[in-house]
Amino acid sequence: MLDRIKLYVIGLVALSGATASWVFVGQPDTTWPEVRAGILFAFLSCISGLLAYKKAARSEAGSIAFLPMLAAVMVAPSWFSVLAIGVATTIVEIASRRVPLKATFNVAQAVLWVSAAVLAYRYLGGSPLLLDALKVNYPAFVATLFTFATLNSTAVAGAIAISERQPFVGVWWSRLRATFVYDLFALPFVYLFALCYVYW
C-alpha cells in the first residue's frame, strides 16, 4: 500500500512540474508588480496555512490558504506566482512538521492546481487584475474556480482512496458534499482579496 501511495505522489510531482513548466514557457516574462503581488499573496497563504483549524469530527486540518492563492492567479497569473505559492506551501509543511511523503503531496497538489488555474485563466482571455480590477473576465474567473475545486478534490480523494482502500468515486463524492457549501460561500472573497490588493 505504501508503494502505491509513493507512486501516486511521484506521479503528482511529475504532473505538477510539467504544468508549472507549461506556465513558464507560455509566458516567461514577468513584471515587478506581478512579482510583488505574488510575494504578498504567497505570504498571506503561508500565514493562513500556519493558522489551519481542525475540522470537526474529521482527522484533518482546514485553512483559507486557497483564497489568497486564487487571488494571486487573478491578480498576477504568472510563473512567479506559482513559484511563490510553492515556496509558501513548503514553508507551511516544514513548520507543521508533516511527514515527508504527506508534505510532498501537499506541495505538489498546490503547485498543480495553481498552475492549471493560471493556464485556464490565461487561455480563456483573463488578464491580470493589476491592469484593471473592475474588468473581470467572468468565464475565466469561473474556470479558475472550477479548476481549483476539481484538481484539489480529485488529488486528495485519490490519496485517501489508495491509502484507505476505498472506491475513488465514493471518497470524492463524500468530500465534495462536505465542502461544497463552504467553498461556494468562501469563493467570493477571492475577488475581494484581489480588489483590496489593487486599490489599497
Percent of the chain predicted with pLDDT > 90: 45
Residue 148 clears pLDDT 70, i.e. is over it: yes
Distance CA 20, CA 110 (A): 11
Q: Count of CB atoms within 10 A of residue 99's CB?
A: 9
Instruction: Please state the rounded mean pLDDT for residues 106-115.
Output: 95
Mean pLDDT (whole number) for 102-122: 95
The predicted structure's pLDDT at residue 2: 64
pLDDT given at position 12? 94
- Residue 15 is predicted with a pLDDT of 96
Residue 163 has pLDDT above 90, yes or no: no
Range picked from 50-54, 142-146, 171-175 for highest mean pLDDT: 142-146
pLDDT at residue 40, as a whole number = 94
